[in-house]
């Protein structure tokens, strides 16, 4: 089971790196409205969750080292925000998967032409990512509870 957890962690870390790069290039835009600030805050929480869960996996699960309790707090706080983020992706993508043509028409109205098949594939990818993220967070919380003795 730990191998599956490692694979999920690798995938989450890879996507977090991509999120961090995109966040760096969109810093000026993030301050344009409260909605973009909120999405930027949530993306930062996803990046921090992936970093601190990696630290937890490496130091506690692999090396069996005692760590500060602040690591547990960082993982939990950012994990909760990331869980909300994954839930928002889930409820946002489901209607788009049910009616992708209306979204494609809206994009055409804004001057963007995107093939329906690639748009649907992108939505499925986001849905899978949200599910993997939620599973990883809940699994990490269970592992933190199971390995409570490693936190001082």
User: What pLDDT band is residue 109 in, cutting at 50, 70 and 90?
Assistant: confident
User: What pLDDT band is residue 23 in, cutting at 50, 70 and 90?
Assistant: very high
What is the average per-residue pLDDT within 19-26? 92
What is the average per-residue pLDDT within 80-89? 96
Neighbouring residues of 23: CB distance < 8 A, sequence distance ≥ 6: 30, 40, 43, 44, 47
Total-model pTM: 0.89
Residues of the chain with pLDDT > 90: what percent?
A: 69
pLDDT tens-digit readout, 38-75: 989 999 999 999 999 999 999 999 999 999 999 999 99
Structural contact between residues 45 and 80, judged by C-beta atoms closer than 8 angstroms: no
Alpha carbon distance 34, 13 (integer Å) = 27
Alpha carbon distance 65, 70 (integer Å) = 14
Alpha carbon distance 86, 122 (integer Å) = 15
The whole-number pLDDT of residue 89 equals: 94
Question: Does the pLDDT of residue 1 top 80, yes or no?
Answer: no
The whole-number pLDDT of residue 106 equals: 83
Neighbouring residues of 135: CB distance < 8 A, sequence distance ≥ 6: 8
Q: Which helix (H) or strand (E) holds 47?
A: helix 34-56
For the record, the structure tokens of 45 come out as 């929480």
The whole-number pLDDT of residue 68 equals: 93
Question: Does the pLDDT of residue 104 top 90, yes or no?
Answer: no
CB atoms within 10 A of CB 15: 17
Residues of the chain with pLDDT > 70: what percent?
A: 99
The whole-number pLDDT of residue 134 equals: 96
Q: Find the radius of gyration of the CA atoms of the chain.
A: 18
Question: Does the pLDDT of residue 93 top 90, yes or no?
Answer: yes
Question: Does the pLDDT of residue 28 top 90, yes or no?
Answer: no
Alpha carbon distance 81, 28 (integer Å) = 23
């Amino acid at each position: 089971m730990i191998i599956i957890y490692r694979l999920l962690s690798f995938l989450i870390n890879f996507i977090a790196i991509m999120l961090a790069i995109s966040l760096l290039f969109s810093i000026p835009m993030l301050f344009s409205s409260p909605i973009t600030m909120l999405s930027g805050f949530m993306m930062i929480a996803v990046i921090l969750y992936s970093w601190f869960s990696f630290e937890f996996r490496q130091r506690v699960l692999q090396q069996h080292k005692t760590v500060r309790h602040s690591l547990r707090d960082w993982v939990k706080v950012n994990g909760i925000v990331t869980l909300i983020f994954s839930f928002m992706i889930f409820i946002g993508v489901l209607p788009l998967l049910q009616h992708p043509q209306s979204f494609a028409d809206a994009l055409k109205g804004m001057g963007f032409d995107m093939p329906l098949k690639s748009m649907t594939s992108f939505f499925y990818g986001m849905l899978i990512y949200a599910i993997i993220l939620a599973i990883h967070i809940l699994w990490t919380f269970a592992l933190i509870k199971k390995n409570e003795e490693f936190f001082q």
